[in-house]
Amino acid sequence: MDGRLLKQKVIAGDVVYGTMISMSRSPRWVTPFEGFGLDFVIIDSEHSPIGRGEMANLLVSFGSSNLVPIVRVPIPDSHYVTMALDAGAQGVLVPYIETAEEVKDVLAAARWRPLKGILARKAVETGELPSQATRSYLESKNQNNVVIIGIESVPAIDALPDILDVGGMDAVFVGPNDLSISLGIPDQYDHPDYEAALRTVILICRKNNIFVIEDAAEVIGLKYKDKKCGSFGDISTFSFYANKQITTGEGGMISVNKFDLYNKCKSLRNLCFGKLNRFNHEDIGWNYRMTNIQAALGLSQIKNINKIVKKKIMIGRQYYKNLKLNKNLTILPPSISYSKNIYWVVGILIKNKKIKSSLLAIKLRKFGIMTRPFFWPMHEQQIFKKMKLFKKSKFPNSSYLARYGLYLPSYYNLNNKQIDYISSVVNNILK
């Protein structure tokens, strides 16, 4: 894939997947990223020590793959944009844009290089070029260049309508940490002012036909600010895995707010069979069809979703009541300022490294109590160790959660007597 095809997929309403590399400098990332089915990778040169030479090496590696390499440049400067593209990038993420004038400089470098100065600026502002031959040459040369604009401050949000009016950009990126600092509420992502700022960005983006995709895999029945989770995005995704509020064993659901998106998703999940000739496929799709038995199982639960959610909340609150006073563990409360906990799972975190969760699980099993550990962190995965990735990486929070986090039983038919018994055993072990 190249930048041009990536943009075409987005315009067509397809979902594209990507990730960002900040600290690692290893070109061996290409293999696992391709295996994950990613479409693009962003190489971060703003918040990392990656030098120009290392950047070029990474771009060569990703350039020979099916991934579209995009560089987050250090500052909103046309010279850095040109440098990244000349090194082999097929796009740029430009951070901390605050004015339409900055966007024009970026677009001049990304869309019309090697044209520079007054002529490049004129091309952006008026569309005027020295000749039709020059236009054809530059459009062909720069057709793969993806331009992503970073919106990370209050002035940027205020100027966003003017920024988008410039046109020519492919996506908008919101930097949550910088934005919260600019709002005067550092890292307070539940603050009303932060929520209002995001809503403003979403509203403006929607007016400019930019999609919002919501991951609602674990929040069936949950509300955020009295609005149902799964209703915020143009596309919202849900999971029906075995431990979710509604389960079909495997599989999931996509909800959309437009008929064209509905038809596209419906086609993609069923191999994109042709309308006139079934076996003359219109596009590349997948076999994501759910069996009739699975569908019937899911539909029967959807009818009772309010009852299911109510019961899960009851289970979680009973655990919280029983365990909240234990000074050797942490359990999430029933509610916070902006949302209520629906306890699709009930997790505890052991404090002060009293014992590891693996040992706690063994002790609980002796009492007939089955548990599940937290996910193991990516930087400690065996496959990546074999590939010599994350060699010097340290993520202490992820490591701590993996070793001291544990999910307690929370299946639907669990009763108060059983919850009290499990809680009593946990309290006795962690006293």
φ, ψ for residue 346 (rounded to 5)?
-115, 110
Q: What is the DSSP letter of 378?
A: G
The pLDDT score that the predictor gives to residue 210 is 66
* Residue recorded with tokens 């400098």: 25
Pair (125, 9) in one structural domain: yes
**Six-digit token string for 374:** 């937290």
Q: Are residues 167 and 41 in the same domain?
A: yes
The whole-angstrom separation of Cα 190 and Cα 196 is 10
pLDDT at 419: 95
Q: Name the percent of the chain lying above pLDDT 70.
A: 98
Predicted structure pTM score? 0.54
For residues 46 and 190, membership in a common domain is answered with yes
Q: What is the pLDDT of residues 162-176, one digit of tens each?
A: 888 888 888 888 888
Domain count of the chain? 3
Question: pLDDT tier at 81 (50, 70, 90 boundaries)?
Answer: very high
d(C-alpha 140, C-alpha 111), whole Å: 10
Output the pLDDT for position 323: 96
| Confidence (pLDDT) at 98 | 92
Residues 282 and 410 in one domain: no
Q: Tell me the average pLDDT of the chain.
A: 85
The gap from C-alpha 302 to its chain's centroid, in whole angstroms, comes to 26
Is the domain of 285 the same as that of 249?
A: yes
- 382 plus 398 within the same structural domain: yes
| CATH classification at residue 357 | 3.90.1150.10
Q: Which of 303, 324, 342 is the C-terminal boundary of a domain?
A: 303
pLDDT per residue as tens digits for the range 110-128 = 998 888 888 988 888 888 8
Q: What is the pLDDT of residues 32-50, one digit of tens each?
A: 777 777 889 999 988 887 8
Backbone φ and ψ for 374, nearest 5 degrees, come out as: -70, 165
- Does one domain contain both 193 and 246? no
CATH number where 98 lies: 3.20.20.60
What percent of the chain stands above pLDDT 90?
30
Q: Which of 92, 86, 82, 107 is nearest to 46 (CA)?
A: 92
**pLDDT average, residue stretch 12-22:** 80
pLDDT bin (cut points 50, 70, 90) of residue 211 is: low
Which of the following is catalytic: 47, 79, 191, 379?
47
Structure-token pair, residue 361: 């699980």
Q: In a 3-state reduction of DSSP, which class is residue 172?
A: strand
Query: Are residues 176 and 261 located together in one domain of the fold?
Result: no
Whole-number Å distance between alpha carbons of 197 and 290: 39
Tens of pLDDT, residues 405-424: 999 999 888 999 999 999 99
Q: 243: number of CA atoms within 13 Å, CB side? A: 12
Instruction: Output the CA–CA distances (angstroms, integers) from residue 217 to 213, 238, 407, in the order listed.
Output: 12, 4, 18
* pLDDT band at residue 291 using 50, 70 and 90 as cut-offs: confident
Domain end call among 211, 239, 261? 211
* Cα 154 to chain centroid, rounded: 23
351 and 361 share one domain? yes
Q: Is there a single domain that holds both residue 180 and residue 106?
A: yes
Q: Which two tokens stand for residue 226?
A: 């009295």
Q: Are residues 185 and 290 in the same domain?
A: no
Q: CB-based contacts of 402: which residues, under 8 Å, 6+ apart?
A: 373, 374, 375, 376, 377, 380
Four-residue CA torsion sign, 249, 254, 259, 263: negative
Q: Mean pLDDT throughout 293-304?
A: 81
Determine the distance from the C-alpha atom of residue 85 to the mean position of all C-alpha atoms in its chain, rounded to a whole number: 25
Q: Is the pLDDT of residue 325 over 70?
A: yes
Are 89 and 80 contacting, i.e. CB atoms less than 8 angstroms apart? no
Boundary of a domain, candidates 303, 319, 334: 303
φ, ψ for residue 4, nearest 5 deg: -65, -45
| Percent helix, strand and coil across the chain, each to the nearest 5 | 45, 15, 40
The token pair that represents 3 in the structure block = 């930048």
pLDDT score, position 322: 96
> The domain spanning residue 224 has which CATH number?
3.40.640.10
Whether the link from the prior residue into 114 is cis, omega within 30° of 0, is yes
pLDDT band for 230, please (50, 70, 90 cuts).
confident
Q: Is 312 exposed, middle or buried (0-12, 13-18, 19+ CB in 10 A)?
A: buried
CA 126, 130, 135, 141 dihedral sign is: negative
Q: What burial letters (b/e) apply to 159-181, b meaning 16+ CB within 10 Å? A: bbeebbebebbbbbebbeebbbe
Q: Say which range, 12-21, 69-78, 146-155, 207-216, has the weakest mean pLDDT.
A: 207-216
Same structural domain, 349 and 261: no
Domain residue limits at 298: 212-303
Q: Is 191 a catalytic residue?
A: no
